[in-house]
A and B are shown apart, each in its own frame.
Chain A
Amino acid sequence: MSDAADTPLLELRGVSKTFGAVQALDKVDLSVPAGKVTALVGDNGAGKSVTIKTISGLWAPSEGQILWQGKPVHIHSPNDAEALGITTIYQDLALCDNLDIVQNMFLGHEKLRFGLLDETAMELEARQTLADLHVTTVRSIRQPVASLSGGQRQSVAVAKAVMSAAKLVIMDEPTAALGVAQTREVLDLIKRLSSQGTAVMVVSHNLNDVFAVADQISVLYLGHLVAQGPASDFDTQIVVEFMTTGEASRPREQHAAASQSAGTGASAQ
């Protein structure tokens, strides 16, 4: 493996963020490898949202450094993040209900022909992108987004990110509002996205979902990064322990073996 391949796509070094007297993040060292799914987990108030908002440029870190492909960068605004190739999909998805799928996917980046909207070119490209992502449950890409299910809306938001040539897609609780089948749909989409070489960072509460898709897990606890490693090093129990107490009572291997023998193991691979 070359050096470049070992360099994480995104790296946070000693990043802290304070709001007045409140220390929301304390010297977080987080790394996001390219082309993999990283899950960022933590209890309420652990600093997950602060972390992704820092990465996506809503505010600057109070301290520390952000490295993008090994080089230090300053992300001062969402536009800076987008220019680097970081797209964040918040829970509200930021879609316009009255516009159709194609219109939403190209919103703000419309293709023009003679100065006018080139609907044909946009529809062709949107169709191709959706096909590449195997988004097949949407029967017409000219239907308004208002008519889509939660999972389909999530798919449109992801396709929109792909279309903007994102290298890292951050998804905030992508499955929180979804039913079983739709959750499946979105998890498949996340896997497909990473198999196409796009890094995905998933922020989630739902450990079943996390173990279903994540290659790497990072656990935040009260603003500290308390654990980070390949998903195979964790299981549900140990993650819960990290999330709630900030430490694990036993070494990971032991823990994993114990829980596997107890029949509750959910660790991936």
Chain B
Amino acid sequence: MTGTIDDPVASPKGTEEEGAKPAPGATSSSAIDSEQLVVLAPNVLADSVGDYFGAWWRRIKGGESGALPIIVGLIVICIFFEVQSSSFLTATNIVNLFVQAAFIILLGMAELYALILSEIDLSIGFVGAVGAAISLALIGSPQNWPWWLGIIVGMLACIVIGAFQGTIITRLKIPSFVVTLAGLLGWQGVLIYVFDVDKGAVGGVITVSNNIIDDLVSGNMTPWVGWIVLIVSVGLFGLVALTRTARRRSQGLTAPPVGVTIMMIGAVAVAGFVLVFVCNLNRGVLTTVEGVPWVIPFIVVVLAAQSFLLARTRLGRYIYAIGASPEAARRAGIHVSWIRTVAFALCSFTAGLAALVYASRLGSFSVGFDGGTYVLYAVAAAVIGGASLFGGHGKAIHPVLGGLVIATLTNGLALLNISTAGTDIATAAVLLVAVAVDSTLRRRGQSGTT
């Protein structure tokens, strides 16, 4: 146990507000003291905004730091690069950075499904590549399918591959590491085969022939469209956040103070404003280049969808449950193998989206795609961002943050003219530091609660 006991949040007023304790005189015999409780659940005891942030700060000190260290780390890295190189914080470079990060972020989101399950999927680099290659081959000549049909078929291929691997893992009870390691090798072979079969592939490269896929990364929103999308997104987010807390409060349940919710919405609005503002600056040299790249709203949509699926649906709840204790999940009547198979299919599907973004950025897809390395970056992104390698923990925002850190390092070190060797070593160091900080804080948190 660490720290002091004097705790404003656990005042008598706070406990009376707690509707869950109807029995009088029993609260004093709480088996965990107030310090620990605040560490565990800051949002359930605070009545005012001040209390809330006090509790939040205690929680950080207690080891439940959440995403804070990684955000602080990201800011520190950005300040460092800005000091070192004046071209780091320019509109051109910031937009470039998001575009560079997009692929690893999405691949990290794919890997997240496996990580929460306490599994790993090494194959998603090449599985996604197979899906994207199939899509591009079908859309390009000589097939000339409609772009949307090509994408659907390619992504369906990813889902089928993921479900197939998931079935082997769950039915034959082979560790996912082994099955997806085989996948890493096998789907690379299939990728080469797709290039062999496709008559539109020239020299092992399929060119992106469709404007819509090309514009995903290379195209920008008209500035005013960017503003409208921002306003609508923030409005939706605010509406959802406010109605949820209002419903909880109307049922007599505890909810964060309204002030906190409004501040949260405000923070999102400010961050969105800055992002759209920077993207809408003219970053062209010869012609005008301005607007938010389409890939940014694309990532926001995937982020929202994944968060929604993990937090609001039975499927998501069961994925977390299985990641922590497959036996408990089985005894609760959950169809464990089915849920795991679906999660692997989702993992491969998201990887397919990531590979499409990759193709869009380069304008083509090459048979030399290094899916084996990218998968490891995806794991690194998720873990740097805060997902646990031991299963049961991780949110969709984690690979986003981790992917941004990796992209920022790559981008900043390149601006400083540091070699690939240096970039690799720096990324490795950040990965180690992130995991070390996380596990140290977590250990401190645990020793405080037992």
A residues near B324, Cβ cutoff 8 Å: 96-99
CB pair B312 A147 closer than 8 Å: no
A141 is an interface residue with CB less than 8 A from chain B: yes
A residues sitting closer than 8 Å to B (CB atoms) are: 78-79, 82, 92, 94-99, 103, 107-110, 112, 115-117, 120, 123-124, 127, 130-131, 134, 136-144, 146-149, 151-152, 181-182
Residues of B within 8 A of A82 (CB): 333
User: Do residues A110 and B317 form an inter-chain contact, with CB atoms below 8 A?
Assistant: yes
CB of B82 closer than 8 Å to a CB of A: no
Cross-chain contact B31 with A149 (CB below 8 angstroms): yes
Q: Give the CA-CA distance A96 to B116 in the complex, in Å.
A: 13
- Nearest chain B CB to A187's CB is how many angstroms away? 15
What residues of A have a CB within 8 angstroms of the CB of B321 in the complex? Answer: 96, 99, 103, 107
CA distance A79 to B334 in the complex (A): 11
Closest chain-A Cβ to B235's Cβ sits at a distance in Å of 21
| Residue contacts A-B, CB under 8 angstroms, 16 given | A78-B331, A79-B333, A94-B331, A97-B325, A107-B328, A108-B334, A120-B253, A124-B251, A136-B27, A139-B37, A140-B40, A142-B41, A142-B254, A146-B449, A151-B31, A152-B31
Given A116-B313, A117-B317, are A140 and B45 neighbors across the interface (CB < 8 Å)?
A: yes
In chain B, residues 230-262, which have Cβ atoms closer than 8 Å to a Cβ of chain A?
247-248, 251-254
A96 contacts across to B, CB distance below 8 A: 320-321, 324-325, 328-329, 392
| Bound complex: CA A131 to CA B22 (Å) | 7
Nearest CB of B to A138, in Å: 8
Interface assignment of B26: CB less than 8 Å from any CB of chain A: yes
B44 proximal to A (CB < 8 A): yes
Interface size range of chain B in the complex: 35 or more
CB under 8 Å from chain A, chain B span 1-48: 15, 18-23, 26-27, 29-32, 36-37, 40-41, 43-45
Within the complex, the shortest CB–CB distance from A192 to chain B, in Å, comes to 12
CB-CB nearest 8 A-B residue pairs: A108-B332, A136-B26, A98-B392, A94-B328, A108-B333, A107-B332, A98-B324, A96-B324
A65 CB to closest chain B CB (Å) equals 26
Q: Is B327 an interface residue (CB 8 A)?
A: yes
Contact B32 A95 (CB under 8 A): no
Interface set of B (CB-CB < 8 Å, partner A): 15, 18-23, 26-27, 29-32, 36-37, 40-41, 43-45, 247-248, 251-254, 312-314, 317, 320-321, 323-325, 327-329, 331-334, 392-393, 449
Contacts of B314 in A (CB 8 A): 110, 112, 117
Q: Is the CB of B320 within 8 A of A131?
A: no
- Interface pair A131/B31, CB less than 8 Å apart: no
Chain A residues, Cβ within 8 Å of B43 = 142
Tell me, in angstroms, the Cα distance from A120 to B29 when the chains sit together: 27
**Cβ-defined partner of A117 (8 Å) among B45, B313, B323:** B313
From residue A95, how far is it (CB to closest CB) to chain B in Å? 6
Name the distance in Å between B239's Cβ and chain A's nearest Cβ.
Answer: 16
Given contacts A98-B323, A117-B314, contact A139 B248 (CB under 8 A): no
Beta-carbon contact of B23 and A134 below 8 Å:
yes
Q: Which residue of B has the minimal Cβ distance to A94?
A: B328
Residues of A within 8 A of B252 (CB): 124
Contact of A139 with B15 at beta-carbon distance under 8 Å, contacts A120-B247, A120-B248, A131-B20 already known: yes
State the Cβ distance, A61 to closest chain B Cβ, in Å.
Answer: 21
A101, closest chain B residue (CB): B20
CA distance A99 to B324 in the complex (A): 9
A139 and B18 in contact, given A92-B327, A117-B317 (Cβ under 8 angstroms) = yes
Central interface residue in A79, A92, A108, A144, by most chain B CB within 10 Å? A108
Shortest Cβ gap from B278 to chain A (Å): 35
Contacts of A110 in B (CB 8 A): 314, 317
Give A225 to B393 CA distance when docked, in angstroms.
Answer: 47
CB distance from A56 to the nearest CB of B (A): 10
Whole-angstrom distance between the alpha carbons of A147 and B33 in the complex?
A: 11
- Bound-complex Cα distance A80 to B254 (A): 38
Residue of B nearest to A79 (CB): B333
User: Are B251 and A120 within 8 A (Cβ)?
Assistant: yes
Whether A140 touches B313, Cβ cut-off 8 Å, given contacts A107-B321, A131-B23, is no
Give Cα A113–Cα B248 distance, bound, in whole angstroms. Answer: 14
Please, how many angstroms separate the alpha-carbon atoms of A267 and B301 in the complex? 66
Given contact pairs A96-B320, A108-B334, A139 touches B27 in the complex (Cβ within 8 A)? yes
> B20 contacts which chain A residues (CB < 8 A)?
127, 130-131, 138-141
**B299 smallest CB distance to A (angstroms):** 23
